Structure 1
Amino acid sequence: MDSVEEQPSVKVEKTASNLKEKPDSYIKGMILSTAVLILFTCANNSSIPLFTQYIHSRYEDMYSNGTHSSSTNDQSPCHGNASVEDNDVEVRVQQSTSSEILKLSLCFQLPPVFVNMVVGSYSDHIGRKMLFLLPMLGCTCKYIGFLVVVKFNLNLNFLLIGTLLEGFSGSIFTFILANMAYAADVTKTHATRTFAIVITDCSVSVAMALGQIMTGFLIQKLDYFYPSVIHTTLILLAIAIVIFGITETVKEKEVKELSPVVHLKKVFGFYVNKSRDNKRFIFIVCVIVFALLSIGLSGKTTIEILYQLGRPFCWNPVKIGYYGAYSTVFMTVSGIVAIKLGSKCVRVEVIAVIGMFLLVASLILEGLARTDAMLYSVPFVASINSVAFPVTRSVLSRMVEAHEQGAIFSSMATIDTLSAAIGSTGFASLYRATAGTMRGMAFHVIGAVIFIAAILKMLVIVKLPRQPSYEQILSPPEDEKDPNLNQNHYGTFAKGENNTSC
């Protein structure tokens, strides 16, 4: 990707009076926001393996009549002889754990659907810091609730309280919205904006890998209480950086219109507004692709650890952490390499489609896996699938004006939240229903969802040449003097990207 040179002069965004002057350099802002992103994502995403394994351990203890303590030893039904009784116990543990995860998923994924409908649009007026702080405070509440349950061995339903508070804070979806909107604010050109969005997505992947491998070791060595203390500390550090380090990119002023209806129109007007007729097809299809990807990947995340805990794998926390780190890092690096090298030959949308088809193949393999080797080959097959999300986000971001960035990312966050709720609940229920018969079936259904997304993405690529007005997107004033930006094509991802020959 292109290196980004700092501009000596300060420029004012003419299309958005509520945005502050562009900073002399966006490097400082991106470094601080990336640090916050890594700290929070590392802590927040660690709750998935932490909660799943703790709940699984509690149900093992319950169904094994107390012979398995709620910790990390290997005396579980999964490690016993393959008797009918052991198999029945293991299936009951899997089903009960998936039911509990389903309830938690509903608590932290349904409330953000309503929160994210308007919060991004409001942030275009009252600032981005709010978007950073709300989900971090909510996640802190979730971990405090988890600490209390673990410390006093309370009923698992008490986990719902902290999780609900996180949900009403907007959860991880609002935090991603904050990072995307902030990246759009501090970048000066479309090219650097896309680069910043990709870096943001890659930072999420790196943080997830760190969190997964760290959580595996911490659970193995310290049980479940102290890892949650460490993750809470990371979140508090991220809050301090936001409050004292990050500069607000939007002028603090009163919102002109407080009615949520007005902001809902701003958020979803991109897909229904007649004035955008020439772009509506691209808007709608890109959002459908985005939604299908979110449904599939959230479903995969929900059931994957549970799948690894059961037969025939019976993985411990360290193996789960290793696998999570390996798969995340490998697919992220593969995606960056594919974008850097492949964009010199083909459009990035083509690379995204290839990544989706590879993801479908990996999901089929994962559902059929019976050995550790087969499971470890899944990320290798999936390889470059990580480019699909940032490509879609970048396309939608470049289609709107600077003062609409909060609204467009709010619409994506809302759709992402709703889709994640559908994916998590739907595939958790499917996994529960098939746990005793065809446990890998859920992965095959997820593969079908991703396959549909890939077909729709191909339709976008075919139709784009027929959308002349889409290619004539108005750019901010600072883009007009950018020699590295091809302004006659919407898909500029990096220098030389539209060159169709290697």
Structure 2
Amino acid sequence: MEHDRSSLNVAIIPTELSGAGDVAVVAVPESLVRSQYSVPDGADHLPDKWPVPANYGTTEKAQEAQERETAKLPTYYTAIRLAPLTLLFGLAHGIAGPAYTELMKIRVCGQYFNYTEEVCQHLDEKMYIHQADNVRSATAHFQLYNTLISTIPSILFSILLGSWSDQYGRKIPMLLPFFGTFMAQVYIVLCAHFPMSPAFLLISPVISSLSGGGVIINMAMFSYIGDYTTKRTRALNIAIIDGAMFLAGNAGSFLGGYTLQNDGLEVPFYINCAMTAASFLYILLVIRDRHPQAAKPRLRFECGSLFSVERVKENWRTLSMKRPGNARQHILLVLFCMLLSSTCLIGDGSIMQLFLEFRPFNWTVEFYTLYSAIQGTISSVTFMAAVIVLRKYLGVPDTVLAILATISAIGAFFGYSIAVTNWMIYAASAVGVFRMVIIVVIRSLLSGMVRRNEIGKVMSLISSLHSVTPLLGSLIFTNVFAATSAWWPGFCFVLGAFMMVPVLAIFAYVDVARRGVDVGYNLLESEEE
């Protein structure tokens, strides 16, 4: 890679491993420093020490040293470190969900439509069926606005912060969303105490999304796992954290519903605030950053560089640069699999309740809630145990795990499509118990195809795509279900099965293509065409 060498700064670069005393001295072109950190050309003085661009000065030897040091860590190092944070985050999210929906419904009924308290408390009665339809429809629209507001700014923010965290560490990206979420929950507590238009509730997702929200939390946590794991241990740790988050979310939903019913509308938000504050303190006091630039903060330049156009260019270079073993094509294909599989796996949840509450099943809401909780718990425990056994003890590659998970998903979709009795639903759920492993192995696969100093960029792309899929899945599956439910309620599941076929084909191709190819972290950056 050619640079203007007319003016050079000498930068002392410590190794990225905490506690290591090794340093590397590299000559960094002044023009590169100025463009990377937006320093005006007319500025006479440049600081003595500069943070080096994330993709500059890395060598094969340094990458190998990092891998050797990481291999010395315990197998479940990151899972143990992140487990308390994952449980707190999952519980807080699960507790707040039902309470927020209920608060929105109450405000829509009382303030938006100005229905009386008598009407709002008895919407389930036949005499108020028209009012109930109005409230349900309006609440759904406000929930859609909430989803859009929560998602879009966070996605844009993650594009910048993923690249930034590769250079300055994961700790600040973990802290920011929890601070914003805490402020948003404090605001919701005020909204719960004082009657106001449901439009004011939409300020809460604005506050949380401007600090990153769940998109940045996932990006930072899984990037942190990538920093402290090897190819052999990464899928294990990701599976444990993903499974723990599902378990905590299910437990939080139960706890949120119980406190909402027995203790009032405000109590779930109080609990959420406490757990969010505890999460913030845990990150601040326990989580260690291995990135050396984070140890000596230079806020003026670090924060200024976050909103640089260079961050967007770095993400594009991560996708477009040539890599050994045709890895660039494989990365793009696996990202497409991420988008398609997440759309199917999340989309079927948007119509499952409607599918089971009508003929021929006629399930009640209470029974469906119980079924969902049990299924989610069994699925989480099963895929955590399966990944540990298959990956650690049997040495099954990530691509083979992905193939097995995709087959599990296709089988479940076909099972749901032909189900006419309860036992067929249970059987289809059992067949699909392994399908959520797809997301786990995709994270592991992609982080294994890039350098360590690109993991944040890759995780931000994964989080961004994963945040878009609820909208795509709901749009596709709800419209198909509405158009076909009269003559074949399970047709949308057939569609999901066929949408997963290209995913299966791509994983099979990548599995064959990657055999014999070194997909570790010693990849050298290739020159662009």
Aligned to 1:156: 198
Kindly state the Cα deviation for residue 401 of structure 1 after the two structures are TM-superposed.
1.4
**Aligned in 2, Cα 1:176/1:19: closer, same or farther, shift over 3 Å?**
farther
Which ranges of structure 1 fall in alignment gaps of 5 or more residues?
Answer: 1-8, 478-502
* Counterpart for residue 264 of structure 1: 312
Aligned to 1:212: 253
State the SS of the aligned residue for 2:196: coil
User: Match for 2:102 among 40, 46, 53?
Assistant: 53
Q: Distance in 1 between matches of 2:68 and 2:185?
A: 35
2:443 pairs with 1:393:
yes
What's the offset of the Cα at 1:168? 1.6
Q: What is the match of residue 495 of structure 1?
A: none
**Equivalent residue for 1:325, pick from 373, 378, 396:** 373
- Residue 35 of structure 1 aligns to which amino acid in structure 2? P
1:258 to 1:387, Cα distance in 2 relative to 1, 3 A? closer
- Residue aligned with 1:67, SS: helix
TM-score by length of 1: 0.76
Higher relative contact order (CA 8 A, sep 6+): 1
- Aligned to 1:46, what secondary structure does the other structure show? helix
Which structure 2 residues correspond to residues 155-194 of structure 1 after superposition, within 5 A? 155-187=197-229, 189-194=230-235
Question: After superposition, what is the alpha-carbon deviation per residue over 1:353-374, rounded to whole angstroms, capped at 9, x for unaligned?
Answer: 1222144246647xx88x9888
Deviations 1:429-469 (A, max 9, x none): 749x949x959999854763564234223233135424567
Q: Distance in 2 between matches of 1:68 and 1:308?
A: 28
Aligned partner of 1:226: which letter?
A: V
Query: What is the 5 A alignment of 1:304-315?
Result: 313=363, 315=365
1:321 offset after TM fit, Å? 5.6
After alignment, is 438-447 or 324-333 more displaced?
438-447
Superposition RMSD on alpha carbons, in Å? 4.0
Deviation string 1:280-326 (CA, Å, 9 cap, x unpaired) is 2211111011112333444455666788999965535xx67644431
- For 1:18 and 1:460, the matched residues in 2 are separated by 29
Greater mean alpha carbon deviation, residues 130-139 or residues 302-311: 302-311
Q: Which residue of structure 2 lines up, in the alignment, with residue 355 of structure 1?
A: 408
Match of 1:222 in 2: 263
**1:339 aligned onto 2:387:** yes
Contact 2:182 2:273 in 1 (8 A): yes
**Which position in structure 2 is the counterpart of 1:67?**
118
CA contact (8 A) 1:213 1:324 kept: no
Q: Tell me how far apart the structure 1 counterparts of residues 485 and 147 of structure 2 sit (CA, whole Å).
A: 23
Q: Which TM-score applies when normalising by structure 2?
A: 0.73
- Report matched runs for 1:41-190 at 5 Å: 41-59=90-108, 65-69=116-120, 75-77=122-124, 80-81=125-126, 88-187=130-229, 189-190=230-231
CA contact (8 A) 1:270 1:283 kept: no
Look up the match of 2:505: 458
- Pair 1:148–1:423, CA change in 2 (3 A): farther
Q: CA deviation at 1:95?
A: 2.1
Q: Name the counterpart of 2:290.
A: 249
Aligned to 1:482: none
Q: CA deviation at 1:242?
A: 0.7
- Counterpart Cα distance in 1 of 2:184 and 2:206: 8
* CA distances 1:134-176 after superposition (whole Å, capped 9, x unpaired): 1112222332232222211221111110111111222111111
- Please give the per-residue CA displacement for 1:69-100, whole angstroms capped at 9, x wherever unaligned: 46xxxx432xx35xxx6654444343222211
Letter aligned with residue 196 of structure 1: N
Note closer, same or farther for the CA distance 1:239–1:149 as it changes in structure 2 (3 Å cut): same
What is the aligned partner in structure 2 of residue 274 from structure 1? 322
Q: Deviations over 1:177-214 (max 9, x none)?
A: 11111111122x21112211111111211211221111
Residue 336 of structure 2 aligns with which residue?
A: 288
- Report if the CA contact (8 A) 2:415-2:428 is conserved: yes
Within-5 A mapping of 1:436-475: 438=485, 445=492, 448-449=495-496, 451-462=498-509, 464-466=511-513, 471-475=517-521
Match of 2:459 among 381, 386, 409: 409
Aligned partner of residue 117 in structure 2, secondary structure: coil
Tell me the SS of whatever aligns to 2:365. Answer: coil
Indicate conservation of the 8 Å contact 1:363/1:444, yes or no: no
Give the letter aligned to residue 31 of structure 1.
Answer: I
What one-letter code is carried by the residue in structure 1 that aligns with 2:458?
A: I
Q: Identical aligned pairs, as a percentage?
A: 20
TM alignment of 1:18-57, pairs within 5 A: 22=70, 25=73, 30-57=79-106
Following the alignment from structure 1 to structure 2, what is the Cα–Cα distance between the partners of residues 413 and 273?
21
Match of 1:489 in 2: none
Across the two proteins, how many residue pairs are aligned to each other? 450
CA 1:308 to 1:29, structure 2 compared with 1: closer, same or farther past 3 Å? same
Distance, in Å, in 2 between the alignment partners of 1:243 and 1:20 is 28
1:37 Cα deviation from its structure 2 partner: 1.5
CA distance in 1, matches of 2:148, 2:68: 38
C-alpha separation in 2, matches of 1:240 and 1:439:
52
CA 1:280–1:406: 2 relative to 1, 3 Å: same
1:415 deviates by: 2.1
- More displaced, 23-32 or 47-56? 23-32
Give yes or no for contact 2:231–2:448 (8 Å, CA) kept in 1. Answer: yes
Matches within 5 A, 1:7-22: 14-15=62-63, 22=70
Are the aligned partners of 1:120 and 1:407 in contact in 2 as well (CA < 8 Å)? yes
Q: Tell me, in whole angstroms, the C-alpha distance in 2 between the residues paired with 1:350 and 1:411.
A: 22
Partner SS state of residue 62, structure 2: coil
CA contact under 8 A between 1:18 and 1:250: conserved in structure 2?
A: no
The offset of 1:112, in angstroms, is 1.0
Specify the SS of the correspondent of 1:14. Answer: helix
